[in-house]
Structure 1
């Protein structure tokens, strides 16, 4: 645990100043303990989701443990969890929003927030991405650092965090949601991965994590090439198509994705990208393609015009379908 945190700090936070998101569970508790030893300054943020009776007491207890472990400060962040996307997604959104706001409120925009995701969490994330079928990007898993989120434990098994807590005499909080079969991730953890381990002879979680790491490396290289290609094909407010029509699909879709995101698109899916790609490679006079992202009363639309792709808007209300391109 200490080596994992030390290596991460040396790469991403050489000044030794970090915050840590602490739930009170074994993973984040062990991370906090290791960070308190390895980092120069650690401030703990404890998120109280308010989803169980007594959650305020659990959060207060976790904050007290953080101070005992040597954190400079420990603050409880109380959030309201909505319903959008289901309980898991809503709780995650509320948690990340609270951690990000706390970091900015403390006027520490450059300080990373460490999260206790382990190798086992990475394997579960890869399987969830595989089920979505959205291509290589969806099974790249979590990265060690995506500002402001740091994940030093992606090479550490969940059993190790529990062992560290036991060795230090720390009692992790067992979130009942982490054993509830109504959540997909819980069933992956308790049913699917153990079955894969049995059928395939072990080593499944590390293999999934290695695959994710390799895909991230490949994806980073392709994204860099696509970025340069995008620069060369920008034409005013549009995107030239002649070169894009001839490049490999992996590069073409990356250029399209980067261009759409720069234009304000959100939550792009593989079907979005392929529909826009068809405007280049399978042009039959079809109309514009609506992509995620909008301003009030409109939605973004990608369309082909005079040998270029352009981004415009279409009404999403009673006048929907009337494009402004």
Structure 2
């Protein structure tokens, strides 16, 4: 654990000053302990979502533990989790899928709504520091499986990055069991989040049913293999993204993109360039089908109409269309 944190600090935070998101669970407790041993300064941030009875006491205990472990400061951040209809549904790398009732109460489900509130609070409180998160190799494997199940392309199975500023994940090469071993060695009993054993969440079923079955059927090593696959795809993706950036720069024509330039590019590079252009112009929640329909305006033009790609900040609908040899984005 200490080696993983030390290597991460050397790559991304050589000044040795970081914040850590501490929930009180085994992964975040072990991460905090390792960070306090390896970093020069550690500030602990604990989020109280207020969704469970006794959550304030759990958060206070986590903050007290942070001080004992050697953190410079320990703060409890109390948040209000948005109910359905009060905000946009924004997915994240470690998205869980809740039950239908949860989705009705919260945009994207209760876990997604809590995640939005948590990340917003951490971002506001971090005071310019990178924030270490306790995601492990097991979490990475679960993320890859979720991406495979959704079938939304290589980007969805690249998993979580080691550093996606300001979020740092030093433990992506460390098994969850190692975090529990460290807690036991330190004589710490971590908090057990009841959501982590609730079968109505897809990620929980992957953790307790699907991955163990795959490990049994394939003879072990599945979680590590999935994590390696994510790392390899991320390296490939970085190269393709760089090429897409060059294509995007070359294809720009005012607010639009030149069709001729896009049409001659390799499909993987072209789709990435189109995706980046749509996102920078305000498109939201792009799906693979959205993207391929926009690409068809370039490669399979048959006089078809525009393609809706989500709403803008003003509430209007954004539509990609082909006009005078250019790909354009308008609103209606």
Distance in 1, matches of 2:142 and 2:315, equals 38
- Unpaired runs of at least 5, structure 1: 315-325
The counterpart of 1:290, out of the listed 308, 318, 322, is 308
* Structure-2 residue corresponding to 1:317: none
Per-residue CA deviations over 1:180-228 (Å, capped at 9, x if unaligned) read: 1111110000000000000011000000000000000000000001101
Show the counterpart of 2:8: 8
For 1:172 and 1:285, locate their aligned partners in 2 and report how far apart those are by CA, in whole Å: 61
8 Å Cα contact 1:77-1:98 kept in structure 2: yes
Structure 1 position 265, deviation (Å): 1.4
Deviation by residue 1:44-97 (Cα, 9 ceiling, x = unmatched)? 000111122111111000000000000000000111223111111111111111
Alignment: residue pair count: 309
Correspondence 1:268 to 2:286: yes
Unaligned 5+ segments in structure 2 are 83-105
Match of 1:62 in 2: 62
RMSD across aligned C-alpha pairs, in angstroms?
0.9
Is the Cα contact below 8 Å between 1:30 and 1:162 reproduced in 2?
A: yes
After TM superposition, the structure 1 = structure 2 runs for residues 211-230 of structure 1, keeping only pairs within 5 Å, are 211-230=229-248
Structure 2 length-normalised TM: 0.92
Q: CA deviation at 1:243?
A: 2.4
Report deviation, 1:152.
0.1
Structure 2 CA distance for aligned equivalents of residues 295 and 217 of structure 1: 33
Look up the SS of the partner of 1:242 in the other structure: helix
TM-score calculated relative to the size of structure 1: 0.94
Inter-partner Cα distance in structure 2 for 1:193 and 1:8: 27
Contact 1:19 1:42 in 2 (8 A): yes
Deviations 1:239-298 (A, max 9, x none): 001121122110110110111112111221111110100000111111111112413231
Equivalent residue, structure 2, for 1:132 = 150
Contact 1:60-1:76 at 8 Å conserved across structures: yes
Deviation above 2 Å: which 4+ runs of structure 1? none
Indicate the residue corresponding to 2:80 in structure 1.
80
Q: Which residue is 1:41 aligned to?
A: 41
CA contact (8 A) 1:112 1:148 kept: yes
Instruction: Report the Cα distance in structure 1 between the residues aligned to 2:206 and 2:310, rounded to whole angstroms.
Output: 29
